[in-house]
Amino acid sequence: MPRRRKPAPGCGPLIPPLSETARPLRQQIFERVRAAGQIARVQLAKELSVSPASVTTITSELIEAGYLEEVRTAREAEGGRGRPPTALGVRAGAHHVAGIKLSDREHTAVIVDFAGNLVADEAIARVPGAMDLAAILDATETLLNRICAKAGIVRADLSAVGLGVPGFVDSPGGIVHWSPVLSTRRVPLAAAATARFGLPVHIDNDANLVTLAELWFGAGRTLSDFAVVTIEHGLGMGFVINHRLYRGAQGLGMELGHTKVQLDGALCRCGQRGCLEAYVADYALVREAQTALNLTHRETQSVGILLESLYDHAKAGNAAARSIFHRAGRYLALGLSNVVNLFDPELIILSGERMRYDYLYAKETLSEMTGMCLNTGRPAPRIETHAWGDLLWAHGAAALALQEVTAGLLGPAREMAAQ
């Protein structure tokens, strides 16, 4: 498995200079400072191609508002005269946000400060099966209270909460159209959670959260276009175009797991047949294993235990177990080749707990993907496997909350209101 890169200072997309001008200049300046970790005013002016006077004026306003602060930087050589040079950094304690991910197996949460630094993390196990809205809110509130206590803050100290669930999520509208963790459809989760917690709550699906985590904290910070494919209980995808997460016209795009690969094929948990997920996700592997390995007498065991059993059989040389992983790998290769042919990303990141099962991304699988891509004479996009663990998803939820808080404080709506 490729070794994870050492993270760059700061957090947030490292957008090249002059590549985006739609946001107000004060928001661009703040986000560039946060992404850099520390940066001098003269460098800000150079990168944004604006006058040093404009940068000085705006950064002074941001310092007065409590969003930025001056930080002393180390001299290049010892013994220099005069005051040490100063740079700008985010005032980390100005705001705190929570990121929470609800899943089939456990719920995880993090709290980060305004600079993106991790303050606390927490996880709680959950009872398997779908829950109604009241039960989901109860579980979320329990986790939120525990993470705040661990961080040494009260809930009212939070500026926002990012909340992620698997399934079909309309992030702008705050609606969960379907999720395996919810027993009903078209749930107004954002509004219900906002009313329950007394805090702004922003929601998205879990694949988008992993993508935001990579965009803000991981390998995608310097990339303009990349894809993240998640393989866990389901199969999802998030996609970044021009340094921004793409959701589609109705906020429900990039559902790679529910693209069709077989007419009238295997039943998917979404209720339709022939979805890619129904051949690659863990419940698909267990379904095949129960038949091929006669595991039906273990139906009361968890999916995780059954998967481990299947994996152990494959590692031990069991031909049926190996064929199950090989078949899933071929379907994964088909899905990835479609992503390449449609979007031509610079990088595809395979993420999620199932990355431990290396048969899903073995060399032959990736080679088959390359063979199904258009033969243009150019190399295929890089493929990396990242198994960060469950806190990755919660970090993505925190990035969502940070993004919304920043836009509310410094974005176009705030700028128009001030005029």
Report pLDDT digits (tens) over 402-411. Answer: 999 999 999 8
**Cβ atoms of residues 117 and 91 within 8 Å:** no
Q: Which residue has the higher pLDDT, 2 or 56?
A: 56
Judge if 398 and 383 occupy the same domain: no
pLDDT value of position 57: 97
Q: Is residue 33 part of a domain?
A: no
User: Does the pLDDT at position 109 exceed 60?
Assistant: yes
CA separation, residue 149 to residues 135, 144, 153, 330, 400 (Å):
21, 9, 6, 46, 22
**Is 105 inside a domain boundary?**
yes
* Closest by CA position to 8, among listed 31, 30, 37: 37
Among the listed residues 1, 2, 23, 3, the one whose alpha carbon sits nearest the alpha carbon of residue 12: 23
CB 32 within 8 Å of CB 113: no
Confidence of residue 81 (pLDDT cuts 50, 70, 90): low
Instruction: With respect to residue 51, please indicate whether it lies within any of the assigned structural domains.
Output: no
Clarify whether residues 285 and 298 are in a common domain: yes
Q: Which of 14-18, 30-34, 172-176 shows the lowest per-residue confidence on average (mean pLDDT)?
A: 14-18
119-137 pLDDT tens trace: 999 999 877 788 999 999 9
Same domain, 242 and 197: no
pLDDT tens digit sequence for 184-213 = 999 999 999 999 999 999 999 989 999 999
Tell me, what's the pLDDT at 182?
Answer: 94
Please tell me which residue, 80 or 412, carries the higher pLDDT value: 412
Residue 161 lies in a domain: yes
Specify the pLDDT at position 20. 54
Q: Do 374 and 396 lie in a common domain?
A: no
Q: Is the pLDDT of residue 38 over 60?
A: yes
Do 373 and 279 fall into the same domain? yes
Task: Please indicate, yes or no, if residue 226 is contained in any of the structural domains.
Answer: yes
User: Mind listing the pLDDT tens digit for each residue in 58-73?
Assistant: 999 999 999 999 998 7
Task: State the average pLDDT over residues 162-178.
Answer: 94
Pick the closest to residue 352 from 120, 105, 14 (CA basis).
Answer: 105
Structural domains counted in the chain: 2
In a domain, 275, yes or no: yes
* Same domain? 307 vs 395: no
Whether 344 and 405 share a structural domain: no
Residues 193 and 226 both lie in one domain: no
- For residues 197 and 295, membership in a common domain is answered with no
Are residues 332 and 397 both part of a single domain? no
Give me the pLDDT at residue 74, please. Answer: 64
Q: What is the pLDDT of residues 247-277, one digit of tens each?
A: 988 878 899 999 999 999 999 988 899 999 9
Tell me which residue of 99, 104, 271 sits closest to 185, measured CA to CA. Answer: 271
How sure is the predictor about 293, in pLDDT bands with cuts at 50, 70 and 90? confident
- The confidence score (pLDDT) of residue 307 equals 83
Residues 322 and 349 in one domain: yes
pTM above the 0.85 mark? yes
Q: Which long-range contacts (CB under 8 A, 24 or more apart) does 68-77 make?
A: 68/30, 68/33, 71/38, 73/38, 73/40
**What is the reported pLDDT for 397?**
97
Task: Look over the chain and give the mean of its residue pLDDT values, rounded to a whole number.
Answer: 87
How far apart, in whole angstroms, are the C-alpha atoms of residue 98 and residue 232? 23
- Find the domain containing 287 and state its range: 222-388
Provide the pLDDT for residue 3.
Answer: 47
Q: Tell me what the mean pLDDT of segment 13-19 comes to.
A: 71
Q: What are phi and psi of 173, to 5 degrees?
A: -85, -15
What is the per-residue pLDDT for 77?
Answer: 42
The proportion of the chain whose per-residue pLDDT surpasses 70, expressed as a percent, equals: 88
pLDDT at 101 over 80: yes
14: pLDDT confidence band, cut at 50, 70 and 90?
A: confident
Size (the chain), residues: 419
Are the beta carbons of 172 and 209 closer than 8 angstroms?
A: no
Of residues 302 and 255, the one with the higher pLDDT is: 255
- The answer as to whether 82 is a domain residue is no
Q: Is residue 127 part of a domain?
A: yes
Co-location of 380 and 264 in the same domain: yes
Name which of 11-25, 145-159, 268-282 the model is least confident about: 11-25
Greater pLDDT, 164 or 1 = 164
| Domain harbouring 125, CATH code | 3.30.420.40
